[in-house]
Amino acid sequence: MLGSLHFPLANLERRAVEGSIDYEQVGLRVGLEVHQQLLTEQKMFCRCPAGLYTEHHDGIVLRHMRPTLSELGEYDGTALMEFKTKKNIVYLLHKSNVCTYEMDDTPPFIVNRRAIDIAIEHCLMLGCDVVDEVHIARKQYLDGSIPTGFQRTAIVGVNGRLPFRGRQLTVIQVSVEEDSCREVRDRGHLAVWRTDRLGMPLIETVTGPELRTPEEVEEAILLIGRVGRSTGHVRVGMGASRQDVNVSVRGGQRVEIKGVPQASRARQLVHSEALRQVELLRLRDELHRRGFQRPSDIDMEHIDITTLVTDFRLDSLRRENWERFVEAEEMRPGMELAEGPFSVRAIRLPGLAGTVGRASQPGRTFAHELAGRVRVIATLDQPPILLHSDDWPEYPQAGEELKEIRQAASCTPDDALVVVWGVESDTVTAAEEIQLRYADATEGVPHETRQALPDGCTDFERILPGPDRMYPDTDSPPRLVSRARVDRLRVDLPEPPWGRQA
């Protein structure tokens, strides 16, 4: 919702970003992670009913997620900062569909055998090699979408092939995993999650990064969906199937667009992301031209300008406007709101004039990249989240007011200026985050997870963790998959969709 706000395009960078790009020329590569809920009576690691959704709750739990130690055995500055600007995470419980397992107050029961069987069927449909022993792993998520802080997941099959447009699409792996919570609300420092869906079994089909155009992406999603449904053992309907789409262009980076609900939505999202990466690579080149070669070359200074802007005409920066927002959003101290005074902060970015307003996705600029980080990590979410000198709002006295702020922040004409507001400690986090985002920009495309917006664009969701976030689930013993069991399941397999077409 907040991400769909539009910034006016920078005057100096009004490129024809809506237009087409040559996907082959930019080296577009897309892989899929297709998730389908399984039609089981019970959840994956407890005996709660699967598929029973509720819109009310009868219990609430408050948790926080603490990052576990990094590879170096210590928190670096960023991790500690992220922890200090931590989210209050609230889980809504209803007795009809969750037990103490989902609350993370009871260890898992033995994994649902039926779920493994369905996953094996799906593997066989895709020509996967089924593993001999299923090992449950934990995949860390710190956003609160799972109360443990990790998702229980296991590989069931690998090395499959899917006939696709006259070639073979690689199925890297099929895993079975527990579904996450449904988000109810995410404001400031508070995230609220509903737990009914949590723990339902789903299969994840991962393809190689072999799709070359948005059209292929849509078609492959539909095909994999049909394979799953052909056994009659996956759920259908709203939310039963979701996909993550991994997009990169040559020289770019794998970016995961998370939770794409329908295949038809994937096209525009892939296009926007391809464009975004191309533009971010151009920005990188521009930064290099200006002498910002490495992340450490990015400098930043910030000062509090609350007093300066008290009587400014610009509504966004006035305390009353912030207080109205806090009241309208019912933000409570200690929950949505951090402790501390209201502050307006001017951030000077030396030598970066003109880069904030550069194009990125269709209708967006680099300012959206900054705003995404500020919204998620500094938790400042009052629209328009930030203001910047490349596109200062137009109103009487705009020029004078911007000039005063620039003077206060000691900006030279070469410097970019960004202004944020909110609780003081959050504005400091925002300033640091903006510097970090620019530091990333010197290297091109950051490795991140992005959420899909209704208009076909994406917004920052979190930094994408690598395989480093996986470790064995010591609460669950490995499960044997005998060849006899695999053969038994093979007997009743339906004809694959491509078989019927032939």
Partner 1 sequence: MTETNDPLKGYRGRARERLQALGVRVWSEVRILNEEGSSFEGVILPRSETSDDLHVVVKLATGYNVGLHIDRIREIQELGFKEAIYKIPEQEFPESPDLPKVTLLGTGGTIASRLDYRTGAVIPAFTPGELYGAVPELAELCNLTTRKIFGVFSENMGWEEYVTLARAVGDEIEAGVDGVVIGHGTDTMGHTAAVLSFMVQNSPVPIVLVGSQRSSDRPSSDAALNLIHAVRSAAYGDVAEVQICMFGPTSDQYGLLHRGTRCRKMHSSYRSTFRTVGDIPLCRVSATEFEPLTDEYLPRNSHRRVKIDPLYDDRVTILYYYPGMKPDIVDALVEQGYQGIIIAGTGLGHVNKPVFPALERAIEKGVHVVMTVQTLWGYAQMYVYDTGRDLLDIGIVPLDNMLPETALMKLGWVLGHTHDHDEVREMMRHSFSHEITEREPHNGYLILQGGLPETEEFVLSQWK
> Do 262 and 416 form a contact (C-beta atoms < 8 A)?
no
Cis peptide before 214 (omega within 30 of 0): no
Minimum distance of partner 1 from residue 141's CB (angstroms): 8
Nearest CA to 389 out of 412, 410, 409, 418 is that of 418
- Burial group, residue 366, by CB count within 10 angstroms (0-12, 13-18, 19+): buried
Contact status: 158 vs Zn ion (CB under 5 A): no
Contact status: 65 vs partner 1 (CB under 8 A): yes
- Binding-residue pattern over the window 55 to 94 for Zn ion, x denoting contact by CB under 5 A: ----------------------------------------
Contact status: 48 vs Zn ion (CB under 5 A): yes
Minimum distance of partner 1 from residue 371's CB (angstroms): 26
In the list partner 1, Zn ion, none, the entry touching 469 (Cβ below 5 to 8 angstroms by class) is: partner 1
Contact status: 46 vs Zn ion (CB under 5 A): yes
- Binding-residue pattern over the window 460 to 489 for partner 1, x denoting contact by CB under 8 A: ------xxxxxxx-x--xx-x---------
Binders in 66-105 for partner 1, by CB under 8 A: 66-75, 80, 93, 100, 103-105
Number of residues written out for the chain: 502
Nearest CA to 162 out of 125, 204, 209, 211 is that of 125
- 133 φ, ψ (degrees, to nearest 5): -140, 125
138, β-bridge pairs:
152, 471
| Contact with partner 1 (CB under 8 A) among 142, 411, 436, 457 | 142
Contacts of 110 (CB under 8 A, 6+ apart): 476, 477, 479
Q: Which amino acid, residue 309?
A: V
Contact status: 158 vs partner 1 (CB under 8 A): yes
Contact status: 103 vs Zn ion (CB under 5 A): no
In the 8-state DSSP scheme, what is residue 350?
T
CA quadruple 487, 226, 35, 252: dihedral, nearest 10: 110
Contact status: 315 vs partner 1 (CB under 8 A): no
**Which residue reads 């089909």 in tokens?**
205
| Contact with partner 1 (CB under 8 A) among 18, 132, 400, 487 | 132
- Cβ-based nearer residue to partner 1, 113 or 403: 113
Contact status: 338 vs partner 1 (CB under 8 A): no
| Contact with partner 1 (CB under 8 A) among 47, 64, 165, 490 | 64
Render 98-153 in DSSP notation, one character per residue: --TTTTTSS---S--HHHHHHHHHHHHHTTPEEPSEE--EEEE--SSSSTTSEEEE
CA quadruple 225, 231, 232, 238: dihedral, nearest 10: -10
Contact status: 154 vs partner 1 (CB under 8 A): yes
Contact status: 61 vs partner 1 (CB under 8 A): yes
- Cβ-based nearer residue to partner 1, 175 or 355: 175
Minimum distance of partner 1 from residue 476's CB (angstroms): 11
| Contact with Zn ion (CB under 5 A) among 91, 101, 392, 421 | 101
**Token pair of 336 as six digits:** 């949505």
**Rg of the chain in Å (alpha carbons):** 24
List interacting residues with partner 1 (CB under 8 A).
57-75, 80, 93, 100, 103-107, 129, 131-135, 137-140, 142, 147-150, 153-155, 158-159, 173, 175, 466-472, 474, 477-478, 480
List interacting residues with Zn ion (CB under 5 A).
46, 48, 99, 101-102
